[in-house]
Structure 1
């Protein structure tokens, strides 16, 4: 419960104090709340060079703000109105310091004015600041339950997609056959990517319809080539043929159904198949996770076999190399982290790991089966006593089937504020699959991934796009 001290109850010399340790999270939250970007609060090297301190410094008013908690919670407590303060800061607060802040009633003046001497010392007994605070004390008694505040946690800012797009800056745009872009969403993406210098789109579809959509939504098609077709089926045939001949280095889905385009891609006679199984990879920017996360396969292979998963794994590893992850960690997911004969995905996970040991899958560190929690949380892995170079640090999540992967990616998007870009690999060219629900940034990121992948192929090596 919270109980205040009214002006009549307060006596000269009354005291209250609190002790709080300054964490890096406190500094970052204070910076977010105030917008203070002083680098001495976020970078140890700059704190040393600019302020001659080896540790990151807290904002001076972080310590001063603790007085507000004392005055509002303890003395006088609920109903207090802050009037003013006058402080001198004797030395800075470093991250890790424990501050003890004490207020002492200095004077009272009717009808409700109270002045306090204020002082703060650190864990070494050194004075941090001192001064005076003035308030209007409550005149009505209040006893009430403590307010339960919202929980606040820090998420890193989205940056994965920006980084991918930025890496394409020095690279030449690639030619992309855009298959049947006959609505606003499917036309906006390639037009914006063209303006950003990522791609040179070739719009394959009914020209009159494409120009009508562009006019309706104010999209500038100047400088963009259009290949006229009668319908979506012809658009798919022409787009795939352009990629097969080398006229286009990538394929992008427009407003036609995915199955219609992928039917042409998978054709043995005129499609884009290779010796590899074609598979889809989600590139996820999850603000609660410290690195780019790939999820495969969540869009093409419904119930992949062990042989399919070998290709799905290798496809995603090769893509990770193109995106600048030289030795990705792959977690092969299941419901549990032990091999359990009644759960087939655990047996396949173990087999895939052994295939990697024998060189049948290369370029990554594999481990599985791993449950999702210990794949992405080192703490969960520690609690479960899992010793693994992958657990807690996964770059790639290989899921048991399409249903699991699709639900996982969408859960991250809608419950963890993640952004998701998507690309199909294992074909002759990278294939950009866009969704109506994709943000503009996600569509650009998908194009950027295709650009990096295509340039890596031009260079003939996995690191060509780095």
Structure 2
């Protein structure tokens, strides 16, 4: 009789360290966009109770109150900005960030495209000179440190320039969380350069860009296959040395499909948790899923809050 594999126990040590780090910073004002289901509303309130964020709940007051009542969530003391519907909530939440009332943005029960459409609006959004990108911060039970995967949610088929910004964004995030210069593996199916696989050529170009100072703050290597990016023995067998091979902290994937499948494989087959944040905009954006557990939602908030605090500390003082 075949034995059914038992799920890997989730211990959350890596997430606990990130959440613990938020105790050293003030709670960050966060515009929570359309928190009109129990999961998104509870996630915001749990992060507030932990001292990570100060939520500004943006959505229809009656609907938010009804959800809170049914879920047993206490809203007394929390600001609610009343708007008619989810699209208005996205626009108003972005406006709160632009006005300086909030230093974080959090997705509630609306579609990601609806929120991001307001974020990337050229006239009223939160764009910077960088392309916006998403980072999964994975807590993988079998890996010794947090594993960042980018981009698995925003850029579908990124070109070379977009990948350069994806690299810059994730390096800034890793540094901003106090984790030091990251070891960035640029993934492909193979570790040699082939004209038949454009991702290998782009990986090599990104490494040359880093060598010439166009991408700074981390160690880049690629192309690397997944095995020789995260396993020292696999890298040794292939004769690959250097700072990154076998001990990557960041996996920069060829495209969204590869990244999405990699993150979900780790979640559902390796017992990993996947906190997520969007970077490259004026402020970090917390993207949570209805399938996220409490600890993952808290970790997403903690990552965004720590990075927002870092960004505020890094800005030049006003004259």
TM range (shorter): over 0.9
1:49-94 Cα distance to aligned partner (Å, 9 max, x none) = xxxxxxxxxxxxxxxxxxxxxxxxxxxxxxxxxxxxxxxxxxxxxx
- Larger fraction in strand: 1
Match of 1:293 in 2: 147
Q: Does residue 184 of structure 2 align to residue 343 of structure 1?
A: no
Partner of 2:285: 431
Larger relative contact order (CA 8 Å, sep ≥ 6) = 2
Change (3 A) 1:156 1:193: closer
Question: 1-side partners of 2:46 and 2:243: how far apart?
Answer: 40
In structure 2, do the counterparts of structure 1 residues 388 and 150 end up closer, same or farther at CA, with 3 Å as the change threshold? farther
Whether 1:216 aligns to 2:70 is yes
Q: Does 1:416 align with 2:270?
A: yes
Once the two structures are TM-superposed, the CA of residue 148 in structure 1 deviates from its matched residue by 11
- State the partner residue of 1:201: 55
| Corresponding residue of 2:46 | 192
Q: Name whichever structure is richer in helix by fraction.
A: 2
Deviations 1:178-226 (A, max 9, x none): 0000001110100101111111000000000000000000001111100
Give a deviation string over 1:227-284, Cα, whole Å, max 9, x none.
Answer: 0000111001100010111110000000010000100000000000000000000000
Encode CA deviations 1:387-442: one digit per residue, 9 max, x unaligned: 22201110100000000000000000001100110000000010000101111101
* Ranges in structure 1 where 5+ consecutive residues have no aligned partner: 1-146, 462-466
Counterparts of 1:151 and 1:210, CA distance in 2: 41
In structure 2, relative to structure 1, the CA distance for the partners of 1:149 and 1:248 (3 Å cut) is: closer
Measured against aligned partners, the alpha-carbon deviations of 1:27-63 in whole angstroms (never above 9, x if no partner) come to xxxxxxxxxxxxxxxxxxxxxxxxxxxxxxxxxxxxx
Paired with 2:277 and 2:189, the residues of 1 have a C-alpha distance of 26
Is the 2:37–2:67 Cα contact (8 Å) retained in structure 1?
yes
Of the candidates 102, 109, 118, which is equivalent to residue 264 of structure 1? 118
For the 8 Å contact 1:367–1:390, the answer to whether it is kept is yes
Q: Give the aligned partner of residue 32 of structure 2.
A: 178
Deviation digits for residues 309-360 of structure 1 (CA, Å, limit 9, x no counterpart): 0000000000000122211100000000000110000000000000000000
Contact residue 180 and residue 203 of structure 1 kept, 8 A = yes
Deviation at 1:149, TM superposition (A): 9.8
Within the candidate set 79, 84, 100, 1:225 is matched to 79
Q: Which residue of 2 aligns with 1:394?
A: 248
Give 1:250's match in structure 2, choosing from 95, 104, 111: 104
Give the secondary-structure state (helix, strand or coil) at the position aligned to 1:412: helix
Higher Rg of the two aligned structures: 1
Residue 370 of structure 1 is matched in structure 2 by: 224
CA contact (8 A) 1:282 1:294 kept: yes
Instruction: Give distance in 2, aligned partners of 1:413 and 1:347.
Output: 29
- The 2-side partners of 1:274 and 1:367 are apart by 27
Number of aligned positions between the proteins: 315
CA pair 433-155 structure 1, distance change in 2 beyond 3 A: closer
For 1:178 and 1:149, the matched residues in 2 are separated by 44
Shift of 1:362: 0.3
Partner of 2:171: 317
Question: Which residue matches 2:214?
Answer: 360
Provide the C-alpha distance between the structure 2 equivalents of 1:202 and 1:150, rounded to a whole number of angstroms.
45
Query: Is residue 164 from structure 1 mapped to residue 42 from structure 2 by the alignment?
Result: no
Deviation at 1:384, TM superposition (A): 1.4
Asked whether the equivalents of residues 156 and 288 of structure 1 are also in contact (C-alpha less than 8 Å), the reply is no
Structure 2's unaligned 5+ residue stretches are: none
Give the RMSD, CA atoms, in angstroms: 1.9
Query: Given that residues 155 and 288 in structure 1 are in contact (C-alpha distance below 8 angstroms), is that contact kept between their aligned partners in structure 2?
Result: no
Distance 1:168 1:241, change over 3 A: same
Counterpart secondary structure, 1:169: helix
8 Å contact from structure 1 (residues 284, 294) kept in 2: yes
